[in-house]
Structure 1
Amino acid sequence: MIGGLIGALIIAVLAPSIFGVSRNENPNSATIQQNEDKTTKEQVSLDVSTDVTKAVEKAGKGVVGITNIQTANFWSTGQESQQAVGVGSGVIYKKEGDKAYIVTNHHVVEDATELEVTLSDGRKVPGKQQGSDIWTDLAVVEINSKDLGEGFVTEFGDSDALHIGEPVLAIGNPLGLEFAGSVTQGIVSGVNRAVPVDINKDGVPDWNAEVIQTDAAINPGNSGGALVNIAGQVVGINSMKIATQAVEGIGFSIPINYVIPIIEDLEKYGEVKRPSMGVTLRDVAEISAYHQEQTLKLPKDITYGIMIEKVMANSPAAKAGLKELDVIVALDGDKVEDVVSLRKYLYNKKKVGDSMKVTYYRAGKKQDADIQLTDETRL
């Protein structure tokens, strides 16, 4: 019995060293705990600089917020007051003397009685609409450049050089000024896309906008903001977004090479100087087969073209001898099938003062006429 007791004591004393067991489950736990405490006290600070951050730093300062303020009439009191009805984005592209110029969308400034521009540093300055164009959805806003420091003017890139799959960034103010200067990243999903635009809201496309397609998130408020390449250059002005339950990640931007001549006209004239024929038009496809044959007397193989509904007095069309019910089928030898294609040719290929050959049918007979284009308000 004495020997057994002595053996038990020996085992009790030597057990920790034999089996590596101590009062702590892990003999190194105290050291680990000390290291953990030390780590939590020391915050990791990294100076991250990538092509994306550099592009944002270069272009982001020139993206502004634009608040559309309109006069509201309260019928209950008979008094008028100014109310903000929407917020969009804009891009400072030029500084000249005591003025700076901002490009934005037409629908951002439409019907505004006042404009307020919020700079990227938070300052708010009054803006003045210099000109606007509904066809391209572009507008120019002017602000005082007195307190505008360095880095606020963006650099334009070459939108014709864009490639599908190229990374791009959308900078703007989605959902208003609360999220001012937001940046989303994506790629160029498509170039030279044609998107139908209904100008007069009658359900019939009046124009095909030529745009860049991107999957960079573009939300309400981003309109007028910048689409930027990885070099920090503005390559597009964000304008439209398809937002339905079935479609996601499809945004559109107006190519900057297309924007430049438009904003130059808006700066100089307050409007875009476009050539005009001086007529009102209707697609032949909208006219019944009976009237195509009996009224217009078109050959059976001519089921396309544009019928002249009205010719303005002293217009280029009137001077060239064109009349009501004439059906235009070609311009300078290029086939035109509808009003949209006619506008596209006229606005993109011709200038005020140019001469244009019009091929048309009158009472079933094919004829030609030369028109000297002016800048009338009608086609």
Structure 2
Amino acid sequence: MRIKVFIITVIAVMLLLTSFSSFGSTAGPKLVVNGTQLSTDAKLIGGRVYAPVRAISQSLGADAAWDSSKNTVTVTSLKNDDIVPEVLKSVSPSVVGVIGSLKDSDYSSKFKDSIAHGTGVIIKSDGEILTNAHVVKDMERIVAVLADGSGYEAELKYIDEDSDLALIKINKTGLKAARFGKPEDIITGKTVMAIGTPVSLSLRNSASIGIISGINRGIESDYRLIQTDAAINPGNSGGPLVNLKGEVMGINSSKFSGTGIEGLGFSIPVGTVNYVLSHFYKYGKVKRPDLGVVFEEDWAAKIGLPSNSGLTISTVNDDSGSKKAGLQDGDVLLSVNSVRVNSNVDYNEEMKKYLPDNTVILKIKRKDAILNINVVLSEK
């Protein structure tokens, strides 16, 4: 196994590992490693920045060990081809195949014997499994196949087609739940792995590796998606996109396919996953607020280009809070509570912050006038 080892002398160890209490109480500099700001103390002393070795090494996927007898810190960093097998070994027990018989529908005709499959992620040790809504919505009998090949009938607990997420439950305890990462760690260029059940159940827990190719993608979704070039094939839907720490950064959901198209897969980011799960547990569904209007994007937003034109209101529903507040057809929504919205995805992302019956302040452009209008949100 190829391992990089670095030895740090006792002088550096004393500076980096001792308590910083003697250095004063002033706020230290921010410490950013590979684009991620670390939540750790760093001190500027004599024109040099000092920070804990362990914090930096862990952020790089390395390990730091202190040998007091030798007054030495050893930092061990594994290369990708050493890390990937460990990540796969760690995450695979939390990944399941999802199989079921389909209801009579046009969708079922695409599958032999009306049997379809996808992937799921164990999120609680008592048998709760997260997957895509499109995987299970037409299934009459759902079976979750664990990494060891054992199968358990599953009950559909919650489903939300707008986000394409669903939660199923099996009667099994002692399972290994996946660890979820932080939304702020979704950074373009970072290495990720897609794990799932492509094409056939015999290929369950297959892995592909790539990078995060882009973030904030609004492709065929109400919410922003992660773009990755890690291979996502039919059956991978509902499986995890994990980083090299083994943390779930997204739930694989779709891909672009066709002649000349390669490496265009999309995952639901962990921020949206957390939002949907919190609503599942609190309300049994996602309680989405609604303005009661129909928006029209400008041409730039429609084709995915940056836009700063806001959203034009083409229709105001008669029984909506917007109608009562005086919004009109042709008004242009510029912001919600001072947050700019220039596309339907921008609007939906902002609405995650609110519940029905909340009041928001809308900045509206009406011809040459700018208005601030309070609107009570209804439920979508």
- What is the CA-CA distance between 1:362 and the residue it aligns to? 5.6
Matched, 1:169 2:193: yes
Which structure would you say has the larger Rg? Answer: 1
- What is the CA-CA distance between 1:130 and the residue it aligns to? 1.6
Change (3 A) 1:283 1:229: closer
What CA distance in whole angstroms lies between the structure 2 residues aligned with 1:275 and 1:251? 29
Contact 1:311 1:324 in 2 (8 A): no
Contact 2:316 2:327 in 1 (8 A): no
- What is the CA-CA distance between 1:83 and the residue it aligns to? 5.9
What CA distance in whole angstroms lies between the structure 1 residues aligned with 2:275 and 2:348? 17
Which aligned pairs between 1:295-374 and structure 2 lie closer than 5 A? 305-313=311-319, 315-324=320-329, 326-345=331-350, 347-360=351-364, 366-374=370-378
What CA distance in whole angstroms lies between the structure 2 residues aligned with 1:271 and 1:57? 34
- What is the CA-CA distance between 1:84 and the residue it aligns to? 3.8
- What is the CA-CA distance between 1:120 and the residue it aligns to? 1.4
- What is the CA-CA distance between 1:108 and the residue it aligns to? 0.9
What CA distance in whole angstroms lies between the structure 2 residues aligned with 1:333 and 1:193? 20
The equivalent residue for 2:207 is 183
- What is the CA-CA distance between 1:102 and the residue it aligns to? 0.9
Provide, for residues 138-189 of structure 1, a one-character-per-residue CA deviation record: whole Å limited to 9, x for no partner: 11112212xx445x32222224224444332211000031211111222333
- What is the CA-CA distance between 1:249 and the residue it aligns to? 2.0
The equivalent residue for 2:219 is 196
The equivalent residue for 1:108 is 135
* Structure 2 counterpart SS, 1:86: strand
Provide, for residues 214-234 of structure 1, a one-character-per-residue CA deviation record: whole Å limited to 9, x for no partner: 222111100110112222222
* Structure 1 counterpart SS, 2:103: strand
The equivalent residue for 1:86 is 116
Which aligned pairs between 1:138-287 and structure 2 lie closer than 5 A? 138-145=165-172, 148-150=173-175, 152-190=176-214, 192-197=215-220, 207=222, 209-283=223-297
What CA distance in whole angstroms lies between the structure 1 residues aligned with 2:84 and 2:219? 32
Provide, for residues 243-286 of structure 1, a one-character-per-residue CA deviation record: whole Å limited to 9, x for no partner: 22222123222222331121221233332112112234445769
Aligned letter for 2:259?
Answer: Q
Change (3 A) 1:167 1:282: closer
What CA distance in whole angstroms lies between the structure 2 residues aligned with 1:210 and 1:328? 20
Change (3 A) 1:102 1:320: same
User: Structure 1: 5+ residue runs without aligned partners?
Assistant: 1-48, 74-81, 199-206, 287-301
The equivalent residue for 2:22 is none
2:148 to 116, 121, 138: 121
What is the TM-score with the length of structure 1 in the denominator? 0.67
Contact 2:336 2:360 in 1 (8 A): yes
* Structure 2 counterpart SS, 1:72: coil
Matched, 1:62 2:67: no
What CA distance in whole angstroms lies between the structure 2 residues aligned with 1:179 and 1:163? 29
For the aligned residue pairs, the C-alpha RMSD in angstroms reads: 3.0
Change (3 A) 1:370 1:165: closer
- What is the CA-CA distance between 1:93 and the residue it aligns to? 0.8
Q: Which has the higher contact order (CA 8 A, sep 6+)?
A: 1
* Structure 2 counterpart SS, 1:113: strand
- What is the CA-CA distance between 1:364 and the residue it aligns to? 6.8
Range 56-65 or range 348-357, more displaced: 348-357
Seq. identity, % = 33
> Aligned residues, how many?
287
- What is the CA-CA distance between 1:324 and the residue it aligns to? 4.8
Contact 1:241 1:252 in 2 (8 A): yes
Contact 1:89 1:104 in 2 (8 A): yes
- What is the CA-CA distance between 1:133 and the residue it aligns to? 1.8
Contact 1:262 1:272 in 2 (8 A): yes
1:53 to 68, 71, 85: 85
What is the TM-score with the length of structure 2 in the denominator? 0.66
Change (3 A) 1:83 1:321: farther
Contact 2:239 2:252 in 1 (8 A): yes
What CA distance in whole angstroms lies between the structure 2 residues aligned with 1:263 and 1:101? 11
